Amino acid sequence: MLSLIIASLVQSITEFLPISSSGHLLLLSHMGVSKPNLAMDILLHLGTLIAVLIYFREDVKEVLKGFLPKAKTRQLLLQLIVATLPIVIVGFFFAEWIEHVFRAPVVVAYTAIIFGVLLWIADNYFPAHQRLNHMNLKHAFLIGCAQVFSLIPGSSRSGTTMTCARMLGLSRTDSARFSMLLSIPAICLAVLYALWQGINGELILPAVGESLGAIGLTAVFGFFVINFLMIWVQKASYTIFAVYRILLGIGLLIYLSFT
């Protein structure tokens, strides 16, 4: 039960905060907390998906209305589609190669530092006056291209997208908001990819109680993490996350130098 709570909490925090899940999973593995298996990974992703759907339900409604023939606006829907295309294309052709080449602790350490520095620069040296309704498809595509870097362990999907959004002049709140909305198709793709990986193997789900517990805990934790992030960026900067990433990367490099 304790391992389930830890896995749910880590998944919720690292999925939405720009601090990288790979680095934390690496640390947890060295602390004796095993990485969730494929079936549990799917359940945890479903939990985070529920969290973001509930928190941003009004935006989700607007996106869904975009599919209607007489929709007044499809702006947000089109932006999310355009922003998702790069990772679909690159992931389809290169995901396994990237996984094989870059899956190393030292890569996680350096990417945590590099993208932490980029996040700090973006948040402190770029304007923050643009709103989400000012964003065009070119901006969405560029954010989508930035999301591709999240395929490299340690980069962070939310971190890369928030960094690019800030560099494009989006406010901290709207940068986080678009990143969270963009996580919906990203999480769906992650679940589909995990299911595809399990086709040739035995994908055995845990007992009903444990499965529902994993989804429920992750959904609840995820909701509160999103709420914390959205409140934080209204009052403060991304600096705390950038500094945390840099310290995490340095800590990993120090640890690796002694092992």
CA 209 → CA 33, 51, 162, 194, 219, distances in Å? 21, 19, 36, 21, 15
Q: What is the DSSP string of the chain?
A: -HHHHHHHHHHHHHHHSTT-HHHHHHHHHHTT-PPP-HHHHHHHHHHHHHHHHHHTHHHHHHHHHTTSTT-S--HHHHHHHHHHHHHHHHHHHHHHHHHHHH-SHHHHHHHHHHHHHHHHHHHHHS---B-GGG--HHHHHHHHHHHHGGGSTTS-HHHHHHHHHHHTTB-HHHHHHHHHHHHHHHHHHHHHHHHHHHHSS------HHHHHHHHHHHHHHHHHHHHHHHHHHHHS-SHHHHHHHHHHHHHHHHHHHT-
Q: What is the pLDDT of residue 91?
A: 86
Considering only CA atoms, which of 130, 143, 158, 144 is closest in space to residue 17? Answer: 158
Q: Looking at per-residue confidence, does 101 or 170 come out higher?
A: 170
Read off the tokens for 94.
Answer: 């290169």
Q: What is the pLDDT of residue 30?
A: 63
Read off the tokens for 168.
Answer: 């494009």
Span 50-75, pLDDT tens digits: 999 999 999 999 999 988 887 778 89
Q: What is the pLDDT of residue 163?
A: 97
Q: What is the pLDDT of residue 220?
A: 95
Span 3-14, pLDDT tens digits: 778 778 888 888
Asked if residues 186 and 132 have their Cβ atoms less than 8 Å apart, the reply is no
Q: What is the pLDDT of residue 203?
A: 60
Domain that holds residue 126: 2-257
Span 213-257, pLDDT tens digits: 888 999 999 999 999 999 999 999 999 999 999 999 998 899 888
Asked if residues 241 and 119 have their Cβ atoms less than 8 Å apart, the reply is yes
The proportion of the chain whose per-residue pLDDT surpasses 70, expressed as a percent, equals 89
CA 141 → CA 22, 62, 65, 203, distances in Å? 25, 20, 21, 35
How does residue 211 score in pLDDT terms, banded at 50, 70 and 90? confident
Q: What is the pLDDT of residue 235?
A: 92
Q: Looking at per-residue confidence, does 37 or 239 come out higher?
A: 239
Mean pLDDT value across residues 190-204: 70
Chain Cα centroid distance, residue 230: 15
How does residue 129 score in pLDDT terms, banded at 50, 70 and 90? confident
Which range of 27-41, 60-74, 204-218 scores highest in mean pLDDT? It is 60-74
What is the residue whose two structure tokens read 């500094």? 243
Q: How many independent structural domains does the chain possess?
A: 1
The proportion of the chain whose per-residue pLDDT surpasses 90, expressed as a percent, equals 53
